[in-house]
Homo-oligomer: A and B are copies of this chain.
Amino acid sequence: MTERFELLEKALVKMLEDKKYTALRDVLLTMNPADIAALFAGLRENKMSLVFRLLPKELAAETFVEMEPDDQELLIRGFSDNELKAVLDELYVDDAADLVEEMPANVVKRILRQADPEMRTSINQILQYPENSAGSLMTTEYVSLRPDMTVGESILRIRRQGVDKETIYTCYVTQDRTLLGLVTVKDLLLADDDDTPVENIMSTNILSVTTQTDQEEVARMFTKYNFLALPVVDRENRMVGIVTFDDAMDVIEEETTEDIELMGGMLPSEKTYLKSSVWELFKNRIPWLMLLMVSATFTGMIITAFEGALAAQVALTAFIPMLMGTGGNSGSQSSVTVIRALSLDELKFSDLPRVLWKEIGTSVLCGVVLAIVCFVKIWLVDRLLLGNPQITLTVDAVVCLALLVTVVAAKIVGAVLPMAAKRIKLDPAVMASPFITTIVDALSLLVYFLFAKALLQI
**Chain A, interface SS category:** helix
**A340 and chain B: residue at smallest CB distance:** B260
Chain B residues lying within 8 Å of A186, measured Cβ to Cβ, are 162, 168-169
Within 8 A of B (CB), among A287-316: 288-290, 292-294, 296-297, 299-301, 303-304, 307, 310-311, 314-315
Q: Is A11 an interface residue (CB 8 A)?
A: no
Q: Is A384 an interface residue (CB 8 A)?
A: no
A300 touches B382 (CB 8 A): yes
Give Cα A285–Cα B336 distance, bound, in whole angstroms: 12
Q: Chain B nearest CB: distance from A257 CB in Å?
A: 6
How many of chain A's residues have a CB under 8 angstroms from any CB in B? Answer: 121
Give Cα A203–Cα B438 distance, bound, in whole angstroms: 57
B260 touches A358 (CB 8 A): no
Q: Chain B nearest CB: distance from A8 CB in Å?
A: 13
Chain B residues lying within 8 Å of A263, measured Cβ to Cβ, are 260, 263-264, 336
Chain B residues lying within 8 Å of A274, measured Cβ to Cβ, are 341, 346-347, 351, 354, 358
Contacts A190-B163, A226-B246, A249-B249 hold; do A332 and B296 have CB atoms under 8 A apart?
A: no
B370 touches A290 (CB 8 A): yes
**A165 and chain B: residue at smallest CB distance:** B186
Greatest chain B CB density within 10 A among A168, A340, A354 is at A340
**A263 and chain B: residue at smallest CB distance:** B336
A329 touches B2 (CB 8 A): no
Q: List 18 A-B contacts (CB under 8 A).
A: A29-B205, A162-B189, A185-B189, A260-B263, A266-B336, A273-B341, A273-B358, A274-B347, A278-B358, A282-B366, A285-B366, A293-B325, A300-B318, A307-B317, A311-B314, A321-B324, A328-B328, A328-B437
